[in-house]
Amino acid sequence: MDDLDLLIDLHLRNDRQGPGSDADTIRALELARIDPDTPLRVADFGCGCGAASLCLARELGDSLAAPITAIDMLPAFVERLRERAADAGLADRIDAHTGNMGAPPLEANTLDLLWSEAAIYNIGFAEGVRAWKPLLRPGGTLVVSELSWTTASRPEEIEAHWTTEYPGITTVSANMRTLEDAGYAPIGFFFIPGSSWLANYYEPLGAGHDAFLERHDHSDAARAIVENDRAEADLYRAHAQWFGYAFYIARTPAVA
């Protein structure tokens, strides 16, 4: 099994594949002030096993003009989302596909709401928001969460870590500027709370580590993944005041 297969085996068992919570998804939806009487066409890019898709399907319910188009590059995650949607009685509200969100298989000018949690870093924030804008109708809403600095400066240790691991990390104001430069009107942002990292992501992931190591005979590759997860969780606990996932909410311009 290569590293990607190991990562899939570890993450497939969890409700979400990145930090977040239903409460964060709902808070972003409230900030977006989506008109509940307008039939909505919605997509969730980098959906993983569908934490956000399932929450949106429940919350938007009858406002959906069509099933939510959920896209992820990993077929195993897409299949898991289909199973979860069926189990939750939401199969008719979610259309999950394997696909590349960098070149989304959707027509221009078709979406009212484009959602993406903890995934845009895979293609880059600026590249993603630029590539996705033509998909939105005028007045359509983008909601995206992205790893961001909380302040203009921070200690050297944490700066060095993230600029090596994710050189795209920047401040909220810089990301807002990127949204404006790409032609969006920013509406707001918020940082998700620590519980969305610890109770909802690192703790469930950590709870699966022993069984994961057993399944893979404590191979070097499996142990390296577990050590990396533990180091990342420790790093978050030690430096959570300096970085986090921010939700960004922005609209494409339209006549009021």
Using CB under 6 A as the binding rule, the residues of this chain from 191 to 230 that contact ligand SAM are none
106 binds ligand SAM (CB under 6 A): no
Using CB under 6 A as the binding rule, the residues of this chain from 8 to 27 that contact ligand SAM are 16-18, 20
244 binds ligand SAM (CB under 6 A): no
Query: Is 143 or 155 the residue whose CB approaches ligand SAM more closely?
Result: 143
Query: Is 14 or 141 the residue whose CB approaches ligand SAM more closely?
Result: 14
In the 3-class helix/strand/coil scheme, how is 57-77 assigned residue by residue?
HHHHHHHECCCEEEEECCHHH
128 binds ligand SAM (CB under 6 A): no
Query: Is 139 or 198 the residue whose CB approaches ligand SAM more closely?
Result: 198
CB-side neighbour CA atoms (13 Å) of 64? 21
Question: 3-class SS at 143?
Answer: strand
Calpha distance 137→110 (Å, rounded):
6
Q: Count Cβ atoms within 10 A of the Cβ of residue 183 and give its class: 0-12 exposed, 13-18 middle, 19 or more buried.
A: middle
Among all residues, whose Cβ is closest to ligand SAM? 48
Query: Is 15 or 177 the residue whose CB approaches ligand SAM more closely?
Result: 15
Using CB under 6 A as the binding rule, the residues of this chain from 31 to 70 that contact ligand SAM are 46-48, 51-52
Burial 124-145 (b: 16+ CB within 10 A, else e): bbbebbbbbbebbeeebbbbbb
